């Protein structure tokens, strides 16, 4: 079949890694243009060397180029603030979709193995955050067995893997991820924490997921988690359980107090993950960036299958 032509806005680490992933591995997508605002950007220079069209005049610059009419799918790897401007342009063209890798959350959240089928006809989808892509599948895996009352995630990433965009979006990260834990993961209450680990040599992404749910069969929860890990591994091979799933029972006569929920008892499940990057452009320790680009690519591939 003919490949769907795509553009990427944002020639930073995430945008450049995504560009290389599309060029090297995509079955359904054809990279056409890289969009930036800095004429001296390394990402734009790399895109030019790879033979793709470029502009340093933002999305408005691409809109004025002949390539624009053929581009059907746009990946936004800029910032939450910039995405709002970019969507104002894309929204005017009914034949184009945008996959948002910022925490702007203008469009509905999308975590491919959890809710793609609910998002297939939406023109602007949001990939949540790196922590969200890594951990929300685990919250959802528990929730499909037992109602999750509280879901908390702690994402620890190498400080070196957190560029200016990531650091500028820290507040949006915690708010967006917590909301998506509820909206997509199914938890009644969500909380997200991010840690920038300055260790040398840099450590790979590690995520801890805590859920407090109704009592349920522990073997069924464990099986559901392992099934979901396998689903994520289809597009992020470096995604894995760092340790086996752990359970603790919170008895009714010794409940814990959770703000917004009151006193809660049930089954506490602890899931420890690690994410090793594929090393296409970014170092392997930057699994936090790799899981974002991989999830965006997996979503783009599926959208392309429906668009041809």
For the chain, what are the domain ranges?
Answer: 4-127+290-307, 130-284
User: What fold does the segment set 130-284 form as a domain?
Assistant: Dihydrodipicolinate Reductase; domain 2 (3.30.360)
Residue 1 pLDDT: 65
The active-site residue out of 35, 77, 130, 225 is: 130
Q: Which residues contact 46 (CB under 8 A, 6 or more apart)?
A: 11, 16, 19
Superfamily in which the 4-127+290-307 domain is placed by CATH: NAD(P)-binding Rossmann-like Domain (3.40.50.720)
- pLDDT of 44-91, one tens digit each? 999 999 999 999 999 999 999 999 999 999 999 998 889 999 999 999
- Does position 169 have pLDDT exceeding 80, yes or no? no
The CB density around residue 308, as the number of other CB atoms within 10 Å, is 10
Total-model pTM: 0.95
- Does position 120 have pLDDT exceeding 90, yes or no? no
The number of angstroms, rounded, from the C-alpha of 69 to the middle of its chain's C-alpha atoms is 28
Tokens linked to 79: 């910032």
133 and 111 Cβ atoms separated by less than 8 Å: yes
- What gap in Å lies between CA 47 and CA 308, rounded to an integer? 26
Among 232, 133, 143, 225, CA closest to 177: 133
Give, in degrees to the nearest 5, the angle at Cα 79 between 75 and 84. Answer: 80
Residue 130 known to be catalytic: yes
Residue 232 Cα distances to 132, 228, 238, 240, angstroms: 13, 6, 9, 9
């Amino acid at each position: 079949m003919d490949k769907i032509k795509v553009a990427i806005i944002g020639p930073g680490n995430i945008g450049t890694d995504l560009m290389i992933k599309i060029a090297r591995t995509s079955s359904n997508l054809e990279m056409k243009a890289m969009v930036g605002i800095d004429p001296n950007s390394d990402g734009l220079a790399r895109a030019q060397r790879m033979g793709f069209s470029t502009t340093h005049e933002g999305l408005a610059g691409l809109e004025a180029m002949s390539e624009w009419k053929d581009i059907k799918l746009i990946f936004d790897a800029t910032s939450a603030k910039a995405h709002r401007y970019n969507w104002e342009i894309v929204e005017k063209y009914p034949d184009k979709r945008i996959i948002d890798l910022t925490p702007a959350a203008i469009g509905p959240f999308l975590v491919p193995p959890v809710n793609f089928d609910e998002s297939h006809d939406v023109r602007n989808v949001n990939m949540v955050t790196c922590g969200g892509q890594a951990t929300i599948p685990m919250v959802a895996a528990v929730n499909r067995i037992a109602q999750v009352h509280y879901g908390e995630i702690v994402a620890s990433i190498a400080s070196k893997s957190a560029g200016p965009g990531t650091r500028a979006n820290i507040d949006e990260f915690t708010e967006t991820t917590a909301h998506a834990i509820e909206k997509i993961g199914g938890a009644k209450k969500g909380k997200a924490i991010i840690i920038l680990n300055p260790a040398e040599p840099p450590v790979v992404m590690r995520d801890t997921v805590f859920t407090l749910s109704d009592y349920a069969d522990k073997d069924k929860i464990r099986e559901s988690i392992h099934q979901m890990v396998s689903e994520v591994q289809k597009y992020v091979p470096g995604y894995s359980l760092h340790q086996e799933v752990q359970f603790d029972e919170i008895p009714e006569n010794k409940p814990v107090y959770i703000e917004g929920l009151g006193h809660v008892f049930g089954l506490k499940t602890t899931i420890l993950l690690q994410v090793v990057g594929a090393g296409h452009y970014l170092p392997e320790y930057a699994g936090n960036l790799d899981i974002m680009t991989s999830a965006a690519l997996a979503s783009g591939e599926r959208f392309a299958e429906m668009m041809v």
